[in-house]
Chains A and B, each alone.
Chain A
Amino acid sequence: METLNQRIAQAIHHQPQPTVTVLSSLLAVEDALGYIPVEAVEQVAALTHATVNDVWAVASFYPNFRFQPPCPHQVEICWGPSCHLKGASGVIAAVLDALGMAGEGDTPDGGLTLRYNTCLGACAQAPVTAFDHHLAGRMTPEQARARVQELLGQPGGENRHAR
């Protein structure tokens, strides 16, 4: 069994592209682990000859980075203007209700992460939601509620590092 430090090293020392930076290394860790552990910040700093502060500065700036292990399921709801006009608010309300949550974040049992997304890139199919990274367009509140309940009943979906 690889240790966490070994997995981080594996991710950041084998980046395929020639230009290796603080950001590219953090993204490689996120791909491999689904989150940025403290150990990764230290390793990335060492690799890129940056300070731990420099690395935290980058990691804390981009909202795609998280600092706790990922939940087994992830739902992203787009609220860009196209999706807003086509009823994203109703989809968000239904999902929040199904999860018993007041806003985005992890469910209390750590089973699912809900994120609002500024644009999932399929505006022609608005409103768009992604369930475990699979896009679904023309979403209705009823469908979204059903899909979330279905996810909650499943043991483990693909999380980000399975990409």
Chain B
Amino acid sequence: MPASFPELQAEAQRRWQELTAGSQPWIRVGAALCGKAAGSDAVVAALNNSLERHGVKATVSEVGCFGLCYAEPLVDVQLPGGPRVFYGNVTPEMADEIVASHVAGGQPAPALALGSLGDGPSGISSINQLPMKAKEVRIALRNAGTIDPSDIHQYIATGGYSALHKGLTQMTAADVLEQVNVSGLRGRGGAAFPTGNKWRFLAGSKAPVKYILCNCEEGDPGAFNDKGILESDPFTVVEGITLAGYATGASHGYIFIRHGHEGPVRRAQQAVRQAYDLGLLGKNILGSSFSFEMEVAFTGDSYVAGEETALMEAIEGKRSMPRFRPPFPAQSGLFAKPTNINNVKTMAYVPEVVARGGQWFAGIGHDKSTGTAILCLSGAVQYTGMVEVPLGITLKEVIYDVAGGIPSGKKLKLLQTGGPLGGVLGADKLDLKLDFDLLRAAGAILGSGGIIAADEDACVVDLTRAIIAFCQYESCGKCFPCRMGMSHLLEVLERICRLEGGPEDLALMRNIGENMQAGSLCGHGQLGFNPVSSALRYFGPEFDAHIKEHRCPTGRCREPRFSPSRSRR
């Protein structure tokens, strides 16, 4: 007999109390992809060594991404009942110092600390005063970097699964759908389609087998928030998918992710398994009449697998190539059954929307863009990382306040938003607000939330060539205007980079681009000319310098260039 939800909560609370205010300090180490790349493994080893040498006991947990990727490896020390104190850019040597002074000695090390969080004297200013934290409103990321992503009890202790419990005990499926509808939540995968509408299509079908797919393919270079959420708080995604299943009357859920992203894959699999263990997935969830099954499914390396119909092909075990529409997925999708697809970020919001009500969510954001944006900041900015800010703040605030501006006194040249197909925005567009519709009207997209900044040292022709090299490599090859068009665009751009282009090349590229747009089944070909057309729109004179004067103003085009082999096997 599985435990009732209040019993689960009580047990989770007891464990949380023991962890945060028990007998031992709790040391959390950022160990998402960003933490790993910064060397968190060596820091964890050094912490454990040091604890043993000092003869002190402490719980060391590898947590997800707190958002301050620039400061990874991030170590956060909490003495029993005390505030959390964060240390950034921790080296193995610093780890030893932190253990000696803070963990063994009970004295935080203000000289090393980034900030603190929570009540109690620490003599260290709040971490929320940091530029990257000051504007944050954390909904989907509410637990990221705070809970251990391998322990479902910590999620339950911090309020997790109360939304599903509320949904199953106090709300009908239609009530849950209505709250999502009222929230104005729009899809965070790129298309920004209203989630409530999408769910209604699926809810309208009476088929006995219906699927909810959660897309974490996330192949966009510059975007890591889907993987970041799965690595930091996979439980909110699993709970969100389960709520979507309840609201739409679906029977099965899939989390879809690229094989090889080990951290996010492992976390997602653990979260699903633990939910089954506690009766939060499977038959008669929490004693209700609602049953829902879930599993993690994989694609191989394929960017186009993130396209919704290509994704279904991959789950079916085939080449990830897009399908013709109609039929639309809500009528005939995965295994020819009615299917709904949402992005990881969209699903991650759902528990809070249900727990706090659609009106609350709709009160955050700007106009028809409700809620927050989960941004991945990379490239030429002071602070790189993953932040969740209310929609409606300007790009200027994002770049100069949140990300701390451009390092080394350089000037911002352009932003690449919404993935490689999103195109680039000139630096004169910084007054634009983060709003799905305003950005689209300006010829850019918020897309998956990746924002790559380039400073004045970057050559726009070289960057466009690199982006098209990516698009060419990732074309699945099904539609020849995309397959051949991308190859031709890359040839022309490589020629311009060699300073051997001619004036006819610009018209040639436009011609190729128009054909790609008209003759491709999915966004990869349809939007594939965006990187070139947007670069030409903002930086025409720089192309002219390469073509007419045979010179590269930044000199970047003189550097060696590498692209992977031209074709998939």
Selected interface stretch from B31-39, B114-122, B536-544: B31-39
Residue B298 is within 8 A (CB to CB) of chain A in the complex: yes
Which of A84, A92, A103, A134 counts the most B-chain CB atoms under 10 A from its CB?
A84
In the bound complex, residues from chain A placing their C-beta under 8 Å from that of B386 are 124
Asked if residues B420 and A81 are in contact (CB atoms below 8 Å), the reply is yes
How distant is A3 from chain B, measured CB to nearest CB, in Å? Answer: 26
Contact with B along A135-162 (1 / 0, CB 8 A): 1111000000000000000000000000
CA–CA, A57 and B297, complex, Å: 19
Which of A25, A61, A104, A136 counts the most B-chain CB atoms under 10 A from its CB?
A61
Contact with B along A47-65 (1 / 0, CB 8 A): 0100000000110111111
Asked if residues A60 and B259 are in contact (CB atoms below 8 Å), the reply is no
Asked if residues B466 and A123 are in contact (CB atoms below 8 Å), the reply is no
Asked if residues B564 and A79 are in contact (CB atoms below 8 Å), the reply is yes
Asked if residues A81 and B222 are in contact (CB atoms below 8 Å), the reply is yes
In the bound complex, residues from chain A placing their C-beta under 8 Å from that of B317 are 21-25, 48, 58
Asked if residues A24 and B297 are in contact (CB atoms below 8 Å), the reply is yes
User: Which parts of B333-391 form the interface with A (CB within 8 Å)?
Assistant: 376-380, 384-386
Contact with A along B292-308 (1 / 0, CB 8 A): 01011111111100000
Asked if residues A81 and B221 are in contact (CB atoms below 8 Å), the reply is yes
In the bound complex, residues from chain B placing their C-beta under 8 Å from that of A163 are 262
Residue B136 is within 8 A (CB to CB) of chain A in the complex: no
In the bound complex, residues from chain A placing their C-beta under 8 Å from that of B450 are 123
Residue B18 is within 8 A (CB to CB) of chain A in the complex: no
Count A-B contacts at CB 8 Å.
178
Selected interface stretch from B241-249, B505-513, B555-563: B555-563
Residue B90 is within 8 A (CB to CB) of chain A in the complex: no
Instruction: Identify A122's interface contact among B33, B293, B298, B470, CB under 8 A.
Output: B33
Residue B565 is within 8 A (CB to CB) of chain A in the complex: yes
CA–CA, A70 and B519, complex, Å: 39
Asked if residues A81 and B295 are in contact (CB atoms below 8 Å), the reply is no
Which single residue of chain B is at the shortest CB-CB distance from A96?
B562
Instruction: Identify A104's interface contact among B463, B476, B565, CB under 8 A.
Output: B565
Asked if residues B463 and A118 are in contact (CB atoms below 8 Å), the reply is no
In the bound complex, residues from chain A placing their C-beta under 8 Å from that of B11 are none
Quick one: given A60-B569, A119-B221, are A79 and B563 in contact (CB under 8 Å)?
yes
Asked if residues B69 and A125 are in contact (CB atoms below 8 Å), the reply is yes
In the bound complex, residues from chain B placing their C-beta under 8 Å from that of A118 are 219, 221, 301, 303, 470, 473-474, 564
- The interface on chain B, measured as residues whose beta carbon lies within 8 A of the other chain's beta carbons, has a size of 71
Asked if residues A124 and B564 are in contact (CB atoms below 8 Å), the reply is no
In the bound complex, residues from chain B placing their C-beta under 8 Å from that of A21 are 315-318
User: Which parts of A85-125 form the interface with B (CB within 8 Å)?
Assistant: 85-86, 89-90, 92-93, 96, 103-104, 116, 118-125
Residue A19 is within 8 A (CB to CB) of chain B in the complex: yes
Contact with A along B163-206 (1 / 0, CB 8 A): 00000000000000000000000000000000000000000000
Contact with A along B532-558 (1 / 0, CB 8 A): 000000000000000000000000000
Asked if residues B300 and A125 are in contact (CB atoms below 8 Å), the reply is no
CA–CA, A95 and B320, complex, Å: 32
Quick one: given A58-B319, A81-B467, A119-B221, are A89 and B561 in contact (CB under 8 Å)?
yes
Quick one: given A85-B454, A89-B559, A125-B69, are A17 and B296 in contact (CB under 8 Å)?
yes
CA–CA, A78 and B37, complex, Å: 12
In the bound complex, residues from chain A placing their C-beta under 8 Å from that of B295 are 17-19
Asked if residues B298 and A137 are in contact (CB atoms below 8 Å), the reply is no
User: Which parts of B370-416 form the interface with A (CB within 8 Å)?
Assistant: 376-380, 384-386, 416
CA–CA, A103 and B566, complex, Å: 12
Asked if residues B260 and A123 are in contact (CB atoms below 8 Å), the reply is no
Asked if residues A85 and B301 are in contact (CB atoms below 8 Å), the reply is no
Known A19-B295, A58-B317, A61-B568; 17 more pairs at CB < 8 Å: A17-B295, A21-B315, A22-B317, A23-B300, A30-B259, A78-B221, A85-B452, A85-B458, A89-B560, A89-B562, A90-B559, A118-B221, A121-B218, A122-B36, A123-B384, A125-B37, A128-B37
20 A–B pairs (Cβ distance < 8 Å), ordered by A: A18-B293, A18-B295, A19-B295, A19-B315, A61-B569, A62-B319, A63-B569, A85-B379, A96-B562, A104-B565, A118-B303, A120-B33, A121-B33, A121-B224, A122-B37, A123-B378, A126-B379, A134-B36, A135-B36, A136-B37
